[in-house]
């Protein structure tokens, strides 16, 4: 019989896919799990100072802990430094959902004035963590390569670049998991009309400009389709969302965040086409969820997608090719079973990988 661990999951940005990950692991891990979280808002403040509050929570609750499982939004160096003496030798596993080194900038000017503070938090975190898990091979490879480039501006770049090289042995790929049973329980008949889906955050790194301008163009060309737009919106969400809401009114059957996750699952089953335009993606949980429900993905031939779905012919390279592929998908409105392509990410399988690696980390 395997040892049962006391696992502490620490998440400074408890919302969206981060929240789903924490909640799923809490219920599915064959270990005793305690969570320390902060509401998912003001991400810069959470990365800069969330570790202070979370270390205080851990010390105050004074629970027995065998291993910490924390995320990339945590300043691990600060967190570890503020932990009580009893926790100083508890191993820390750092899970990299995203990172602040590989990031698509809106303008060249922003690149010039880049605040490197948040990338440095990631850098110090990988040095302090005992183990580092990435959600895809693409993420692991691009992070290690770009981190060395990121550190090249420092006064002693070779020293810092060597620290990254010496941390590679702590790194491995541990993918996200998806609760397909929960999806299956909300299964609905598919909409008979072609139904286009947006199920991402309302932020510019998801490239909503290309997505909506393409749909507006197709609408003006006379194509008939329904549109579901969900995902979390923010106070500074790109203006294109307001433009699209106005210009695509006749197509919209849902617009806005689903407060109940089960309602989101039901919407996935009714959709048929998922055009993805992201400029940054390391795994794509929303894509996996949609594919399980039979939604046809249209994916950029870059980022993590070819690595995750190398057997599929669903990729595009240029904006014009994207327009043509989306047009064809709307016109044909055919359905395909993609479940076999994503079943490897079922939590029933993936949670065993988490459990085994946590046991290794704690010994």
- Write down the residue that tokens 């809106």 correspond to: 106
Phi first, then psi: give them for residue 94, nearest 5 degrees.
Answer: -100, 120
Among left, alpha and beta (phi > 0; psi -120 to 50; other), residue 73 is: alpha
The per-residue pLDDT for 114 is: 58
- Show the tokens assigned to 161: 């670049």
Within 8 A by CB and 6+ apart from 150, the residues are 101, 116, 119, 123
Please give the helix or strand (H or E) that residue 340 lies within, else none: helix 339-342
pLDDT under 70: residue ranges of the chain: 1-2, 103-114
Assign domain 180-344 one CATH number from 1.10.10.10, 3.40.50.2000, 3.40.50.880, 1.20.144.10. Answer: 3.40.50.2000
In terms of CATH architecture, what is 6-177+346-362? 3-Layer(aba) Sandwich (3.40)
Domain boundaries in the chain? 6-177+346-362, 180-344
Closest CA to 361 of 45, 100, 92, 65: 92
Closest CA to 280 of 108, 72, 122, 102: 102
Strands 131-134 and 32-39: unpaired
Whether the domain at 6-177+346-362 and the domain at 180-344 fall into the same CATH topology: yes
Within 8 A by CB and 6+ apart from 358, the residues are 5, 7, 29, 31, 67, 69, 93
Beta strand spans in the chain (E): 6-14, 32-39, 67-71, 92-96, 131-134, 171-173, 195-198, 226-229, 252-255, 273-275, 296-300, 315-316
Q: Is 85 in a helix, a strand, or coil?
A: helix
The per-residue pLDDT for 104 is: 56
The per-residue pLDDT for 110 is: 47
- Write down the pTM of the prediction: 0.88
The per-residue pLDDT for 334 is: 85
């Amino acid at each position: 019989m395997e040892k049962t661990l006391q696992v502490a999951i620490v998440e400074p940005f408890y919302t969206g896919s981060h929240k789903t990950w924490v909640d799923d692991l809490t219920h599915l891990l064959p270990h005793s799990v305690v969570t320390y979280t902060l509401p998912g808002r003001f991400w810069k403040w959470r990365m800069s100072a969330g570790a202070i509050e979370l270390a205080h929570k851990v010390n105050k609750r004074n629970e027995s802990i065998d291993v910490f499982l924390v995320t990339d939004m945590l300043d691990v160096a600060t967190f570890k430094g503020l932990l009580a003496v009893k926790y100083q030798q508890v191993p820390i596993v750092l899970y990299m959902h995203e990172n602040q080194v590989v990031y698509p900038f809106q303008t060249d000017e922003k690149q010039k004035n880049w605040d490197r503070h948040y990338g440095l938090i990631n850098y110090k975190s990988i040095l302090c963590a005992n183990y580092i898990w990435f959600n895809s091979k693409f993420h692991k490879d691009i992070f290690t390569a770009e981190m060395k480039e990121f550190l090249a501006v420092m006064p002693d770049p070779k020293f810092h670049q060597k620290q990254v090289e010496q941390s590679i042995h702590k790194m491995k790929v541990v993918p996200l998991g998806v609760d397909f049973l929960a999806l299956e329980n909300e299964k609905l008949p598919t909409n008979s009309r072609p139904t286009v889906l947006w199920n991402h955050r309302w932020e510019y790194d998801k490239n909503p400009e290309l997505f909506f301008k393409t749909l507006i163009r197709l609408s003006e060309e006379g194509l008939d389709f329904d549109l579901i737009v969900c995902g979390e919106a923010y106070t500074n969400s790109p203006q294109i969302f307001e433009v699209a809401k106005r210009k695509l009114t006749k197509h919209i059957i849902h617009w806005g965040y689903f407060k109940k996750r089960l309602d989101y699952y039901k919407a996935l089953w009714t959709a048929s086409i998922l055009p993805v335009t992201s400029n940054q993606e390391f795994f794509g949980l929303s894509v996996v969820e949609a594919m399980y429900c039979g939604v046809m993905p249209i994916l950029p031939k870059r980022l993590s997608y070819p690595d995750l779905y190398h057997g599929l012919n669903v990729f595009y390279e240029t904006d014009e090719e994207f327009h043509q592929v989306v047009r064809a998908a709307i016109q044909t409105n055919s359905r395909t079973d993609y479940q076999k392509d994503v079943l490897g990410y079922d939590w029933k399988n993936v949670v065993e990988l988490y459990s085994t690696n946590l046991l290794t980390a704690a010994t």
